[in-house]
């Protein structure tokens, strides 16, 4: 904990990030502290602000909605805002991709979506165990933590729930062991206790786990393995969905249709909490009341979410620019990595990372970048990866400015 609020006469711990300033407002790719100093944002709320801060188009819709007393709250009752969101999601996201999902609002945040997915998979299959992956991150509630592969994140909460087993992610054996050899052997071995998992939960690119990207053919192989062994495939697209890797869904390139998809973070568009669980129609076996919660279906978030889909997903402009900008970031990271032994450029789309052998380096670079007014986080099991995730709406100029600061900050730390 830093002591930024040390002057407050309060016993309440703030648990702030280590950035030693207090932010007051934000616009587009910038946050401003109380003195008005701008900070360029290469963090984007860990993927919750793909369309930038206080996006003016979304703000206009939100203000109109508030002005006419649009906010109604009656748990999950039907509202015009919800209907418009569902129609827009169908028209702009599902239909053009030939995808067919029923939509559940499982609660306000990503972890609620993961919990509903795990519960539903167990209910559908009548099986109990869940397979997750090394270095995965799925959220902070007990079910989600149980499928999270980083023991530090469990924060002393003890061992995971039973029936949750991690398998090696795509990068684990560095191509030295054939894909799924170990996994399949365990599935076939009745003594392993793993012969009838309910589901596999996977991120196509592990954000918190260190910007570890899986290959489309690995995902396809996993999908086939799931089908062969009666396991449901859950893709957790909470951080990498809504265009972070380029396409709206991060699994599109693999050409698969997962059984269940978890979405949150940028789906609300404006940074307002909203989560979705997408369920293949044949798997929609919930009875009324089996998975509920007070803040399912946040109506102001439906308004901004609908507008974000209309603005950014009616055509492929954002997808293409994200891929182009991502390639630019990737090229600069390759250039930096080539100058420092053991450094490695990681990721795809605008989910990028720079990994370092020495686990202290990424944190030091993040601090050096903060001093130069650029916000970047670290990720990976030992925080050894510098995480680079600007809003997708970042301009080319902002991107270049930020990349120059990344260069300078790495240079300052490793010189
Ligand atoms: N899944 C993934 C892949 C995430 O990155 C996160 C959040 N970092 C979550 C789930 C949990 O989302 P939330 O913090 O909104 O509960």
Q: What is the pLDDT of residues 245-283, one digit of tens each?
A: 999 999 999 999 999 999 999 999 999 999 999 999 999
Q: Region 308-313: what's the mean pLDDT?
A: 98
| Cβ of 142 below 6 Å from ligand 1 | no
Q: Is residue 28 predicted with pLDDT exceeding 50?
A: yes
Cα(294) to centroid of ligand 1, in Å? Answer: 19
Could you give the ipTM of this predicted complex? 0.99
8 Å CB contact between 187 and 194: yes
Tell me how many degrees the CA angle 167-100-89 measures, rounded to the nearest 5. 105
| Total-model pTM | 0.96
**Topology of the domain covering 4-55+316-414:** 3.90.1150
* Residue of 138, 144, 276, 351 to test ligand 1 pocket, by largest number of atoms within 8 Å of CB: 138
Using CA atoms, how far apart are residues 123 and 120, in angstroms rounded to an integer?
A: 5
The pLDDT, as a whole number, for residue 259 is 98
Q: Is residue 378 predicted with pLDDT exceeding 80?
A: yes
Nearest CA-CA partner of 349 in 236, 253, 220, 263 = 253
The pLDDT, as a whole number, for residue 4 is 63
| Cβ of 110 below 6 Å from ligand 1 | yes
Q: For 321-373, how does the pLDDT look when each residue is reduced to its tens digit (9 = 90+)?
A: 999 999 999 999 999 999 999 999 999 999 999 999 999 999 999 999 999 99
Using CA atoms, how far apart are residues 282 and 353, in angstroms rounded to an integer?
A: 38
Distance, CA of 408 to chain centre = 28
* Residue of 17, 48, 110, 114 to test ligand 1 pocket, by largest number of atoms within 8 Å of CB: 110
> pLDDT band at 8, cuts 50/70/90?
low
The pLDDT, as a whole number, for residue 135 is 95
CATH of domain 62-312: 3.40.640.10
Q: φ, ψ for residue 297 (rounded to 5)?
A: 75, 80
Closest residue to atom 2 of ligand 1, CA basis? 138
Using CA atoms, how far apart are residues 272 and 301, in angstroms rounded to an integer?
A: 5
Q: Is residue 96 predicted with pLDDT exceeding 80?
A: yes
| Cβ of 138 below 6 Å from ligand 1 | yes
Using CA atoms, how far apart are residues 335 and 404, in angstroms rounded to an integer?
A: 12
Q: Is residue 13 predicted with pLDDT exceeding 70?
A: no
Q: Is residue 17 predicted with pLDDT exceeding 80?
A: no
Q: For 273-298, how does the pLDDT look when each residue is reduced to its tens digit (9 = 90+)?
A: 999 999 999 999 999 889 988 888 89
| Cβ of 109 below 6 Å from ligand 1 | yes
Q: For 184-242, how does the pLDDT look when each residue is reduced to its tens digit (9 = 90+)?
A: 999 999 888 787 999 999 999 999 999 999 999 999 999 999 999 999 999 999 999 99
> pLDDT band at 15, cuts 50/70/90?
low
- Give strand pairing partners of 213: 205
Using CA atoms, how far apart are residues 393 and 53, in angstroms rounded to an integer?
A: 10
Q: For 131-176, how does the pLDDT look when each residue is reduced to its tens digit (9 = 90+)?
A: 999 999 999 999 999 999 887 777 777 667 778 888 999 999 988 9
Angle between helices 396-414 and 361-371 (to 10 degrees): 120
Mean pLDDT over the full length of the chain: 93
User: Over pLDDT 90: what percentage of the chain?
Assistant: 84
Two tokens, residue 316: 């492929």
The pLDDT, as a whole number, for residue 3 is 59
Two tokens, residue 74: 């009656």
**Structural domain boundaries in the chain:** 4-55+316-414, 62-312
Angle between helices 299-312 and 80-88 (to 10 degrees): 30
Nearest CA-CA partner of 46 in 253, 335, 241, 326 = 241
For residue 214, the 8-state DSSP code is P
Cα(343) to centroid of ligand 1, in Å? Answer: 27
Q: For 33-54, how does the pLDDT look when each residue is reduced to its tens digit (9 = 90+)?
A: 999 999 999 999 999 999 999 9
* Residue of 116, 209, 264 to test ligand 1 pocket, by largest number of atoms within 8 Å of CB: 264
8 Å CB contact between 93 and 347: no
Using CA atoms, how far apart are residues 250 and 246, in angstroms rounded to an integer?
A: 7
């Amino acid at each position: 904990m830093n002591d930024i609020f040390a002057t407050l006469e309060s016993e309440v711990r703030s648990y702030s990030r280590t950035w030693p300033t207090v932010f007051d407002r934000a616009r587009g790719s910038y946050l401003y502290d109380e003195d008005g100093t701008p900070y360029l944002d290469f963090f984007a709320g860990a993927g919750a602000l793909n369309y930038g801060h206080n996006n003016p188009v979304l703000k206009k819709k939100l203000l109109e909605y508030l002005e006419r007393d649009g906010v109604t709250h009656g748990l999950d009752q039907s509202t015009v805002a919800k209907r418009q969101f569902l129609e827009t999601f169908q028209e702009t996201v599902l239909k053009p991709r030939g995808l067919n999902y029923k939509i559940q609002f499982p609660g306000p945040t990503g972890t609620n979506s993961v919990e509903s997915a795990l519960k539903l998979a167990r209910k559908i299959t009548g099986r109990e165990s869940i397979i997750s992956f090394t270095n995965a991150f799925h959220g902070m509630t007990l079910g989600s933590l149980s499928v999270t592969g980083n023991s530090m994140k469990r924060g002393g909460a003890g061992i995971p729930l039973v029936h949750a087993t991690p398998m090696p992610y795509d990068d684990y054996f560095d191509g030295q062991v054939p894909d799924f050899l170990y996994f399949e052997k365990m599935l076939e071995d009745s003594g392993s206790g793993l012969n009838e998992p309910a589901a596999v939960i996977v991120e196509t690119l592990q954000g918190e786990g260190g910007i570890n990207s899986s290959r489309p053919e690995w995902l396809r192989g996993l999908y086939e393995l799931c089908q062969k062994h009666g396991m449901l495939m859950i893709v957790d697209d909470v951080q990498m969905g809504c265009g972070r890797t380029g396409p709206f869904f991060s699994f599109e390139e693999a050409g698969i249709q997962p059984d269940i998809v978890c979405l949150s973070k940028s789906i609300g568009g404006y940074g307002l909490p909203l989560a979705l669980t997408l369920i293949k129609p044949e798997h929609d076996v919930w009875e009324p009341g089996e998975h509920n919660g007070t803040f399912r279906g946040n109506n102001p978030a439906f308004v901004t979410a609908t507008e974000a889909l209309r603005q950014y997903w009616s055509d492929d402009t954002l997808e293409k620019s994200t891929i182009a900008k991502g390639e630019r970031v990737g090229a600069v990271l390759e250039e930096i990595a080539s100058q420092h032994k053991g450094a490695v450029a990681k990721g795809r789309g605008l989910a990028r990372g720079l990994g370092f052998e020495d686990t202290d380096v990424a944190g030091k670079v993040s601090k050096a970048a903060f001093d130069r007014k650029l916000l970047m986080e670290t990720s990976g099991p030992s925080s050894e990866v510098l995480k680079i995730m600007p809003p997708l709406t970042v301009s080319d100029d902002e991107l270049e400015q930020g990349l120059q600061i990344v260069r300078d900050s790495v240079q300052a730390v490793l010189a």
